[in-house]
Structure 1
Amino acid sequence: MNPSNPHHYAIRIEADDIDALGHVNNAIYLRWVQAAVVDHWERLAPPEAVAAHRWVAVRHDITYRKPAFLADALVATVVLESVRRESAFYDTVIRRGAETLAEVKSRWCCLDAATLQPARLPASTVACFLPPVGMAIAS
């Protein structure tokens, strides 16, 4: 499976995000990743799929490169790498201009919204995100 086209999500830093060291607390990055991944899902999935499914994080592997500060303009770039069974595997990079602040690899589990049990997405929904094998990706 080819990865998805990049999805860009603007991040707004709030005063409460700043910790005692004067920069964004590391835990806030998880909130940003979740917001960016959910935004990606809600923008590309058909409305009926958004209504029928929820996502929960199963794993995040975060590499922090540089701190973020209150006045920074940040963007999270989200790429869906693959979907296997009920799991979606994402790469998210948080940047300030050309500087990479954090790199996140995450696994998400799709849940049926009514039962809250793991659910596989239909191939037609997955196709909204991932190009067919052999198809080039525009950047």
Structure 2
Amino acid sequence: MSADGAIDWDLPDPFTMEIRVAADDTDRLGHANNVVYVRWLEEVSWAHIASLGMTWDLHERTGRAMAITRTEIDYLGAANTGDHLVLGTWITGFDGRLRSSRQFQLVRPADGKTLARAISTHACVNLETQRPARAPQAFRDILAAAVVARGQGLRVD
């Protein structure tokens, strides 16, 4: 955390989602389960693109969606029941045709600790055939406008 108490984000201006770790989110080790982290990444991704205008209605009208092709997560610290977390995300790449990438940072504001960093890659698919398909113009416009320069990219503390 910075001196003024603000979160020290890896990239500027993240789209964020507040999280309160529930008892059901934890595993036998007593901390948030790895599967729960993946769920949080998916939830913030959908919320982010919807906020940019890439709503499910647009997906259905165009017959296209961005499907995850790869996710890489670095778990840097444990989240426990009751922890308040903030998950930030950025669209960090788009090739203008088919593929996009996204970066994530999960922070516990109480101590400023980054608990996880992740990156994911996506490919546009036809909703009917589930096969790769060129992104429609509406997707291209939204994704291109949202790309944040990755800078140093994924950091591991």
* Alignment TM-score, normalising by the size of structure 2: 0.71
Post-superposition, which runs of at least 4 consecutive aligned residues in structure 1 deviate over 6 A? none
1:60 deviation in Å? 1.0
Q: 2:67 maps to what in 1?
A: 56
Which runs of 5 or more structure 1 residues have no equivalent in the other structure?
134-139
Deviation of the 1:129 alpha carbon: 3.8
Structure 2: gaps of 5 or more residues: 1-10, 148-157
Deviations 1:68-113 (A, max 9, x none): 0111111111100111232210001111112211000111122222
Out of 21, 25, 38, the position equivalent to 1:17 is: 25
Residues in 2 aligned to 1:75 and 1:11: alpha-carbon distance in whole angstroms: 6
Give the structure 2 partner of residue 95 of structure 1. Answer: 107
Q: Name the residue aligned to 1:42.
A: 50
Which runs of structure 2 are paired with 1:105-116 in the superposition (5 Å)?
105-116=119-130
1:104 maps to: 118
Higher relative contact order (CA 8 A, sep 6+): 1
Identity %: 28
Using the TM superposition, name which of 115-124 and 19-28 deviates more.
Answer: 115-124
RMSD: 2.5
| More off after superposition, 7-16 vs 19-28 | 7-16
Q: Equivalent residue of 1:131, what SS?
A: helix
Partner residue, 1:83:
94
Aligned equivalents of 2:146 and 2:119: distance in 1? 22
TM-score by length of 1: 0.79
Residues 64, 125 of structure 2: 8 Å contact kept: yes
- How many residues align? The count is 131
CA–CA distance in 2 between the matches of 1:128 and 1:94?
24
CA drift of 1:65 comes to 0.8
Residue 124 of structure 1 deviates from its aligned partner by 4.2
CA distance, structure 1, for counterparts of residue 13 and residue 132 of structure 2: 25
1:81·1:91 contact (CA, 8 Å) conserved in 2? yes
